[in-house]
Structure 1
Amino acid sequence: MSRSIWTTLGISPTNDTDEVRRAYARRLKEVHPEDDPEGFQALRAAYDQASNMARNKWAVPETRPGGEDDEAFDDDDDWPDEVANWRPAAANHASRGWAPPPEDRWARATPEQQAAAEAELPDDIRAELARERDLAEAHQGLCDALTKLIANLDGDRHEALAAMIRVFRSPAMDSLTTHARTEQWLAHVISFGGPVVDDMVEPAIQFFGWDSTRVGVDLRHAEPVLRRREAGLTLRRLERSSHPDHDVWKALTSEPTRIDRIRQRLTPKFAGRVNDMLQRFQYEHPDMMARMNPASEAHWRAWLERPGLGPIFLWTLMIGPGLAALMLNATGDFGPPSPLTFFAFWTVIGSALFALGVGYLHGITRPRLAWRAASPWHRPLWQRFGWAPAALALLVIAGAVPPAWWVALLLLPLSFVVWTWARITSSHVPPPYGVNKDWGRYAGLAPIAGYLLLQGGAVAGQAGTALLVAFVGAAAALQVGAEAIADEFAQWDISRRRRAGATQLAVVVIAALAVVGSAASGWGMGAACGVVTALSLGDRAMAWGRIGSFVVPRRSIMLAGWIGGLLVSAFLPFPDLAVRTFVGLSLWLLLAATLTGVASVLEGRSVLPERFRRKKKGRTPGELA
């Protein structure tokens, strides 16, 4: 995979993340998700892995200071040949085409010159040199025996471990040169060896002290061994039945059966856990990938690449229609209870539920994946956020049109279309970590819903029903697209954000005039109520995820302080209690929108004049000490 990803991207291996990103952008113009979905998936996987390797400086190994030892450990060589041909006791530079220059006074002597030089040495020195050669040859024999055991992928682990311990106990290891070269060699062997070397990892780490910090010692050669030890520890934890991901690991390592696939298919969140494990091991522990069952891995990768109906929906489809049919059949409202009536109910309800699931799969899930894979950041603004003004317009229309039953009925499909639009075009912006399932995010909708419910006689009957239907649709659309709006607003420059805040303040003034005018004249209260509700929802989207001296009080007003609107209504000069409540709550919600607009207009500006600002204690940067 580490070689094919660069071929897929069309570049050479590099540690430059910008070059990887440019190559991905060039290839996106040639590979389209609609025409070649498999090619796009391969391109995306290559881009993710190449980006990860470039960020961690793994794509191109850093060049170590030149030397004979480093030349012997060329990472581009294949491991079997390197283990078979490279000997830790002596380096063979002649095989690599290197020879010292003739004028180099440090050039090595020929064997004949060495023999002649040794003949002139004293007897005790010659004996010591002969002893060292014997120890080196014996050490070389131990290393060759270990090499043969490691080259056999089906070899005995205990025998290989015993052979490595014999290498450790070799008297030649007393030599610093032999010790250093053996350390480098064993690190390379253990890093790229098969399952035979699994039991050799921890003893080698302890013997050479690779997991301790040694000042001035380069331990980069031991990093793959340390990662392999971490992968082994992870494997032992996953093999315990008490581990929470034991069932996921078992599904990836055992031969899949039809019963197991059905059971896993019906287990909630199981597919997501499998996807998380595959992603984590692919980038953090590549050694774990080799331990998976190829058929199981291929099955799950193929399943995760295509969207499907979730386990919760499948359980609902299997149990829900039967229970509903049983209850309807038992009531007797559609005739005497009978098996035929039960079967008819079960068929109709089950078919409707199945059609709903298939429609959601092909109408929402698949378009969301296609939208997310098509780099939607460069799409026109109306495609990405046109649903927001459409959702708010539903509220204004619901309050402005004459009260009728068909208005609420028509708003249902329109609200669903707007919500679908928002869900599809906001899928490329993930929610912040840790808040995806936080139901407290919906708390800010309670004051607006309470505003609609407390209108009483001001907005009653079918107009109130239409407003509630439109509110549910608009709130749902703005909720699923809240992160997309916040992300887009954060990308604007400060002058554009200030203009948006000024526009919001102007709309607040118009809405306040509409509320007071409709309350005084008794006409158009439904439209004014729709405008206030739409402005409150839009203000909530504009304030999403922001902080500031004006936004914090705005949140207090929306969450708990909105009851102050009822207090304001007590001092208004309108005789009708419902009208006073309508105006008081409207002005209170408009106050919250005013604070958001003021926060945008004053962004980057100081509210207090220069002479009223608090000066910091201490010296200024230009002041002398």
Structure 2
Amino acid sequence: MSIWQTLGITQTKDEKEIRRAYARQVKKYRPDSHPEEYQQLREAFEEAKRYAAYAIYDDESADDEYVEEQANIDVDVPHLESLLHQEAVNEEAVNDDQQQQELSEIRITYPFSDVLLDDYQPSINELPVVETAYTQELIDWLAKLFIIDENAAKRELVELWENVSQKGSLQTHQQFHQDFAWALSEQEGLTEAVVEHVSSLLGWRLDEYNSEQIIPFYIQNALTEQLRQTEVARAWKQCQIDAVHGDYIVSQSLRVLTSKNEKVSYKVRLIPGLIPQIAEQVKQRTSEYPELKDKFNPAILSFIQQPRLAFNWRGVFLCIFWGLLLNMVATQPDVNSGVAIVAGVIILFYLFFNDLIMFGLHSRKKAFTVFLVSEFFITLFVILIFFLGLSGVLLFFITGLDIGPAHGAQAMVIFILMWLFWYAWPKDKPSIRRPGIMMYRMFASPWKFLEYFKFSWFSLVWLVIIYLIYYSAMHNLLKYCTEFLVN
């Protein structure tokens, strides 16, 4: 496609017409939406301007020589008529073969002169060279240099801008600003420091409300988008670094998120706390850079959207805590081993199996409903037995302290039970689930104490105290149940 087809006009040496055509075409092919077409349009525009400059020079040179030639010619009318008559005779005498040969060698002459026009055509080496202040290739190279060697690019930019300021017109200055800003917006790895330095040197005033007078908004938006892509790339690189050098649980979660596996490995379920950590990393990293969500493993993102069965430190700790406690209680001679086993089954059910069964029956509505209703009434019965036994233990314990009359001890027992019930009873859950959640909270309370103290060294002291209190309460409760069954 020729430059005139690109501009959408016929061949012309009118520079105004060329500029109008360029203005019409640039509205169709903007740099942000059609970069390739815009580049072709710019090259065609520059080539057309050079053509117009050369054409104007040729016309002026030819006119000057024509005027000088005419000034040296004496017009002799009889001689002119003789020349015309002789020319007519010569034309009649030419045969067909000679006519074909001469037609192929026709050369244009000036009127009233036998001087050939070809003799006055300047050679290609004599044409004037229109010196440009910069080229697009130079701008592209300098923009890339800012990414490779910023210090060297700063020196080159100072020299280039001095050259443009001295040799270019105001329109050239404006075009230089836009061309260089657009070239920068195409550079991957562009930083805000580079843009601020260039803006300060060239006077772009990007932080002012009227900055579009120098750099149009669409170019500013392109710069902003490239800066954002650089920040996202850095955030993604940081994810990859943390996946190798971060803390164990953090590095494992980021390795899974940055992997390309299409299936989720079973190891994700076996590492305690990994699934919650993955969800936490996704939330934390995408809060500032939502674009990272497109880079994370889609299989993992889909996996953490649903509740999953997996090991966690809370479950491991509670198993060890209650396992050791029940083992010590069951060895006591005043506690029946069967009662201890039933207590262990109840604890395991509310800590683990209750949620596991509901998770398995969630897709089967009828069975799920039957289980919820059954679990509700069974749990109420367990709570009744638990509180009756605990009240008896507390009453016996407080009365044994001999700190006051019996009715005072009963009041203290009621107060303790009310506080325990208020702490464990869920207030923002469905009614049918409240008894089961209450039992879970009571059995999970040792872990809650550790969380409250943020797992500090001081929490270890409280852990020992809590263990002794729970051991005493469980021992007396199971002993009371054993005596009740025996009697």
Alignment TM-score > 0.5, same fold: no
Structure with greater helix percent: 2
**TM-score interval, smaller chain:** 0.3 to 0.5
TM superposition score normalised by structure 2: 0.41
TM superposition score normalised by structure 1: 0.33
Bigger Rg, structure 1 or 2? 2
